[in-house]
């Protein structure tokens, strides 16, 4: 059962190509630091600029590195339903525990189109599916009612909610029950999200602070919300810094500061501005992430 902090992994590059060694070493570090799962090829993994071959290669690298120790929730979304089916089939054959499927971007489908998109993938591939709702990226918002309708399908098991709307987990829990997996996609809301019935976070901040993020959930799960909140307060400036420029620019720079990847990022993304670099480094130092 998916729960806790899952890291939305950055994708390291070396001279324009996937840095296999750095990526698998990064997955190993994430697991050692307490990540409850890893999520390759999401927004933070620069999926928008990966070729199909690269995308599938990164998923395979993550599954190989995780080696069954934690679940791999493979990014497999697309604004083209057939392409999403293809990537989800690959995730299944490669051994992913589940697929993370973003709402179709740019097309701006209506709610019936969203339902039919996810149902088509569900019907084509026998793999658990987590819906990813991030209207700020996609310009489309899947409603709680549409999610509840999709939750009636046996392999639609959860949602990553990056709306920062804290009424939604309560509303969805009321409609579909507590077993449907709900993950915050906004690090700064996670303690409140857990209090409203959530099960964890698919996290950007965990790229640079996996241990502290894991500790937030561990404290919550142990019935110590005060400790969870204390750690969240310690990380608040880091959460903010991870979005000082468009994700994954700050996250990749932060991982670079930790010495775990090169600073390379693919156009049209660019490395952070000097001001952003200073803010990222300052926040990480203040949280004790850099010596």
Which regions of the chain does DSSP assign to beta strands (E)? 4-8, 13-14, 17-18, 37-39, 73-75, 98-102, 129-133, 156-161, 181-184, 200-203
Angstrom distance (rounded) from CA 83 to CA 13: 24
Q: What angle do CA 85, 89, 91 make, to 5 degrees?
A: 115
Rg over CA atoms, the chain: 18
CA-to-CA dists, residue 216 to 3, 4, 105, 108, 207, angstroms:
12, 9, 32, 35, 15
Residues with a known catalytic role: 132, 160
- Distance of alpha carbon 164 from the chain centroid: 14
Q: 6, 2, 4, 3: which is closest to 204 by C-alpha?
A: 6
Q: Residue 181 is encoded by which pair of tokens?
A: 């997996």
- Angle at which helices 249-257 and 274-286 pack, to 10 degrees? 60
- Distance from C-alpha of 134 to C-alpha of 225, rounded to nearest angstrom: 27
Distance of CA 241 to the CA centre of its chain: 17
DSSP one-letter code for 272: P
Q: Residue 19 and residue 36: Cα distance in Å, rounded?
A: 23
Residue 226 CB contacts under 8 Å (≥ 6 apart), including other chains: none
């Amino acid at each position: 059962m998916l729960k806790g902090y899952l890291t939305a992994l950055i994708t390291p590059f070396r001279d324009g190509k996937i840095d296999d060694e750095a990526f698998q070493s990064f997955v190993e570090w994430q697991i050692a630091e307490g990540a409850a799962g890893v999520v390759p090829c999401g927004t933070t993994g620069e999926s928008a600029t990966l070729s199909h071959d690269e995308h599938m290669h990164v998923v395979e690298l993550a599954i190989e590195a995780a080696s069954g120790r934690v679940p791999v929730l493979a990014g497999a979304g697309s604004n083209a339903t057939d392409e999403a089916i293809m990537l989800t089939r690959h995730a299944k054959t490669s051994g992913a525990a589940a697929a993370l499927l973003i709402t179709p971007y740019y097309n701006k489908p209506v709610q019936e189109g969203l339902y039919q998109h996810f149902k088509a993938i569900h019907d084509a591939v026998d793999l658990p599916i987590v819906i990813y709702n991030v209207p700020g990226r996609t310009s489309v918002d899947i409603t709680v009612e549409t999610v509840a309708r999709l939750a009636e399908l046996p392999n639609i098991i959860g949602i990553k909610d990056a709306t920062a709307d804290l009424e939604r987990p309560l509303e969805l829990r009321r409609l579909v029950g507590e077993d449907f997996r709900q993950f915050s996609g906004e690090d700064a809301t996670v303690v409140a999200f857990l209090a409203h019935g959530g099960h964890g976070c698919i996290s950007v901040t965990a790229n640079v602070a996996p241990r502290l993020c894991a500790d937030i959930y561990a404290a919550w799960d142990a019935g110590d919300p005060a400790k969870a909140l204390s750690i969240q307060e310690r990380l608040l400036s880091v959460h903010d810094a991870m979005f000082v420029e468009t994700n994954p620019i700050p996250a990749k720079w932060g991982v670079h500061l930790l010495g775990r990847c090169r600073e390379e990022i693919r156009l049209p993304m660019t490395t952070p501005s000097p001001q952003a670099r200073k803010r990222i480094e300052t926040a990480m130092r203040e949280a004790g992430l850099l010596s």
